[in-house]
Structure 1
């Protein structure tokens, strides 16, 4: 990865590019359709190089990102390389260089606030009592990755058992452990979900949750097994948008507006209305523009 990073930086300087993206998740629109770049670039890649004039078009780095980028460096020719987050892809132990002949200045944001933003994982089922039921959105452990594809997701109706494990509501089969505290990084969180597997668990049925970043307990809690949750309603949408990202965005909306009963009812109505307009031309792009 360090070699790829160096190649990106050196080519950007040698070719005098205005914009060079690297690591563009499928749900991000980091491609460029025209100029000026500041008016035609919808979203930023996880790692990218920008000419300083392009950064100025956006109003500076502060205006380009929701939070200060994890890593910024200046290159020859007034180029700026930005690594948005400490987890730009599925490896978490890589750090871009701080002392290299192709770098002029380097800035890391290793603050506690940044760490909380990058790693702020939490298990929504940790707030549920023993015996409570809900809907988890899971993938098999071999499908763990930097992005969760809709086709890999499984809606699982679960119960919190006496050992604080999640078991399938219909069969009682073990699904995963409930994680009560953030162990410090995404990889450790994933491992913690399968840290204490009971003897009766089937290896091919072990799963991990995708609902670990900002999804509130109210989105997963069921009062009755025949009810719906915010999670199940999102999964039922027949639209080609990243379902996990949509739930994260709805969680952010809920937190910003205060998670009240009326707010949840409004979100329920919103999702029910979406079910009726799935065939409307351009609806998926509207969802991305407004929520993702």
Structure 2
């Protein structure tokens, strides 16, 4: 099992005057949303206010969240008056947590962030999982409008100082996120996804426009929807970029073993959810013109696919139409296709990155990749 990471939620404000009442209200708001603590509240409040800061632990269904307070006046750089460290992303993961439970936890956490925003009245709140492989994190470099923000967190709350920057309050409320809320203190909460983390396969995100582009690039919703439609109708066959004679690993499926019935080799008619687990083969293929041939036996595999989702050129002489494989590598631009370098091969005996992960099959000399044939399907 890979390394796990925790949620981080930061509340940026310029001042926090009533220390002890603020700490008490914070814990009360968390408890109201089902985040419990065994800490003796009076003792914790006294320690935190005396030291102008401190921490207390609460739990979301047993998953710990460390609540940190900083009651000192912030410095010139953006500073946090409140910090939630947790819960761990495992509180929402698909393989261990039922979807309804994950949704309930995410809703309670988002509600708690909203309530704490009203209590603290910050100019910005960001809640996200800081994966180390991400190049950009939603952390401000300065105060509005010079924050340098380029992307949203799972939950981002914008105070009134941001409204003009995004074209006004009403435009901010129309952001194409999973949920957008108008809070009591005038702030706007933007919840980018239903559940935090890298994504569950049982949650359908839908073809929503990019909220980052809408807010930070100032793109209109109409233009963003137009771009989505263009991406969803533009097909990418990474093997179109193969050089003549170059080798790669293709993940293929025959029409007979496809989970749905269809007629003709037209990728626009194929369902969007064809799964690589339904594959027939992972083959070493060699490019010859607009066609791909099995790298060892020389058997015809498929034609390259153009941007419109249709095969390029005619079938090879002597090869019937039903002897063409479907590639599970071909995808629309919107689906963010995998880079060619992960499929590229140096020789038939050296699998690509993808071939090494899911298993490369080599057709023996003189044998076909088709189960109902003894000899390879080759050109006349």
TM-score, normalisation: structure 2: 0.34
**Which of the pair is proportionally richer in helix?**
1
